[in-house]
Chains A and B, each alone.
Chain A
Amino acid sequence: MTDSTDATSSTPQTPTAAGATTLTGSEAPAPAPADPGERHLVEEAVEHRRPTAEGGEHGAHPTDAQYMKIAAVLAAITAVEVAVYYVKKPLGFGFAPILITMAAVKFFLVGAFFMHLRFDNRVLRRLFITGIVLAIIIYLIVFLLLGVFSSTHGAHG
Chain B
Amino acid sequence: MATTTTPEVLDESPGESPADHGMSPATNTGVSNEKLAMWSFLGSECLLFGALISTYFLYRGRSLTGPTPKNIYDIPYTSISSFVLLMSSLTMVLALAAIQRGDHRRLRLWLTATALLGTVFIGGQVYEFTSFIHEGLTMRTNLFGSSFFVLTGFHGVHVTLGIMMLLSLVIMSARGRLPQSKVQVVEIIGLYWHFVDVVWIVIFTVVYLIPSPVAHSNRPLQIR
Interface residues of A in 133-150 (CB under 8 A from B): 134-136, 138-139, 142-148
Whether A67 touches B46, Cβ cut-off 8 Å, given contacts A107-B202, A124-B36, is no
- Interfacial chain A residues near B54, Cβ < 8 Å: 139, 142-143
Cβ 8 A contact of A49, one of B7, B30, B44, B93: B30
- Interfacial chain B residues near A111, Cβ < 8 Å: 194, 198
Whether A154 touches B221, Cβ cut-off 8 Å, given contacts A23-B10, A143-B54, is yes
Which of B's residues lie within 8 Å of A, judged by CB? Answer: 4, 6-11, 18, 21-32, 35-36, 39-40, 42-47, 49-51, 53-54, 57-58, 62, 75-76, 79, 82-83, 86-87, 89-90, 92-94, 97, 100-101, 180-181, 183-184, 187, 190-191, 194-195, 197-198, 201-202, 204-206, 209-211, 217, 219-224
- Interfacial chain B residues near A130, Cβ < 8 Å: 43
Pairwise interchain contact A115-B224, C-beta atoms closer than 8 A: no
Rounded to whole Å, the gap between the CB of B184 and the closest CB of chain A is 7
Whether A132 touches B32, Cβ cut-off 8 Å, given contacts A114-B194, A139-B51, is no
Q: Which residue of B lies closest to A95 (CB)?
A: B210
- Interfacial chain B residues near A49, Cβ < 8 Å: 4, 6, 9, 26-28, 30
Size of interface on A: residues with Cβ below 8 Å to B: 74
Whether A127 touches B221, Cβ cut-off 8 Å, given contacts A22-B10, A139-B54, is no
Interface residues of A in 73-108 (CB under 8 A from B): 74-75, 78, 81-82, 84-85, 88, 95-96, 99-100, 102-103, 106-107
Rounded to whole Å, the gap between the CB of A96 and the closest CB of chain B is 5
Whether A148 touches B57, Cβ cut-off 8 Å, given contacts A78-B86, A110-B197, A156-B224, is yes
Cβ 8 A contact of A26, one of B9, B31, B40, B75: B9
Q: Which residue of B lies closest to A63 (CB)?
A: B97
State whether the Cβ of A33 lies closer than 8 Å to any Cβ in chain B: no
Alpha-carbon separation in the docked complex, A155 to B216 (Å): 12
Q: Which residue of B lies closest to A101 (CB)?
A: B205
Pairwise interchain contact B100-A54, C-beta atoms closer than 8 A: yes
Alpha-carbon separation in the docked complex, A81 to B209 (Å): 8
Pairwise interchain contact A135-B39, C-beta atoms closer than 8 A: no
Whether A135 touches B50, Cβ cut-off 8 Å, given contacts A103-B202, A127-B40, is yes
Cβ 8 A contact of B36, one of A47, A127, A131: A127
Whether A154 touches B219, Cβ cut-off 8 Å, given contacts A78-B82, A81-B209, A135-B46, is yes
Alpha-carbon separation in the docked complex, A19 to B183 (Å): 8
Alpha-carbon separation in the docked complex, A68 to B89 (Å): 10
Pairwise interchain contact A51-B32, C-beta atoms closer than 8 A: yes
- Interfacial chain A residues near B224, Cβ < 8 Å: 144-147, 156
Rounded to whole Å, the gap between the CB of A105 and the closest CB of chain B is 10
Pairwise interchain contact B47-A138, C-beta atoms closer than 8 A: yes
Pairwise interchain contact B32-A148, C-beta atoms closer than 8 A: no
Q: Offer 11 A-B interface pairs, CB within 8 angstroms, sorted by A.
A: A22-B23, A24-B8, A49-B28, A51-B10, A51-B18, A68-B90, A95-B210, A123-B29, A127-B40, A139-B50, A154-B221
Cβ 8 A contact of B222, one of A95, A127, A131, A156: A156
